C-alpha cells in the first residue's frame, strides 16, 4: 500500500471515488465542486489533495498550496482505524464531537444538515478502505 495521502495513494483514491456511484454520481447530481485536502492534525499543512468537479475527481495528488473548500484532518492512527473499519454517520458525528476529526477549512455542521452531501461524505471513508 502506498503511504497514506501520498500522490500515488491520492490517485488511487480518486480512481475509486470516480467508480463509486454513491459518491461520484450522487455528488454529480448536486453539481458538487470542491477542493478537498486530507492530512494529519499534528502537521501544519495537509498532504493529499482532490479537485472535484460535478462529483468527479478531476485531479489528485499532493497538496501544493491550492485554495481549499475542505481541509480534513485526523491522527494517523485514527485514519488507519477508519480505513480498516469505515465509520458510519454516528461514528463520524462522535469523532467530530470528540475532536478525532477536524475541519481546518469547511463547515462540517452545514454539510451534515444536507443529506445530499452527508451521505457521500460517509461513503468516502469506505472508498478509502478500497485503496
pLDDT tens digits, one per residue of 95-107: 989 999 999 999 8
Residue 113: what pLDDT?
Answer: 80
Residue 87: what pLDDT?
Answer: 93
Contact 74, 82 (CB under 8 A): yes
Residue 44: what pLDDT?
Answer: 96
Residue 123: what pLDDT?
Answer: 94
Residue 79: what pLDDT?
Answer: 96
Residue 109: what pLDDT?
Answer: 80
Beta strands in 45-123 (DSSP E): 48-53, 56-62, 70-74, 102-105
Residue 2: what pLDDT?
Answer: 63
Spans in the chain with pLDDT lower than 50: none
CATH (residue range 7-128): 3.30.1050.10
What pTM value is reported for the model?
0.93
d(CA 55, CA 47): 21
Amino acid at each position: 500500500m502506498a503511504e497514506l495521502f501520498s500522490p500515488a495513494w491520492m490517485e488511487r483514491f480518486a480512481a475509486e471515488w470516480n467508480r463509486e456511484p454513491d459518491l461520484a454520481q450522487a455528488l454529480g447530481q448536486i453539481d458538487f465542486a470542491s477542493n478537498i485536502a486530507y492530512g494529519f492534525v499534528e502537521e501544519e499543512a495537509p498532504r493529499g489533495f482532490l479537485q472535484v468537479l460535478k462529483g468527479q475527481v478531476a485531479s489528485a495528488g499532493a497538496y501544493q498550496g491550492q485554495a481549499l473548500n475542505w481541509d480534513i484532518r485526523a491522527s494517523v492512527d485514527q485514519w488507519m482505524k477508519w480505513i480498516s473499519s469505515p465509520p458510519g454517520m454516528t461514528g463520524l458525528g462522535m469523532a467530530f464531537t470528540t475532536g478525532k476529526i477536524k475541519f481546518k477549512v469547511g463547515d462540517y455542521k452545514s454539510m451534515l444538515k444536507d443529506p445530499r452531501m452527508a451521505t457521500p461524505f460517509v461513503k468516502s471513508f469506505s472508498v478509502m478502505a478500497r485503496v
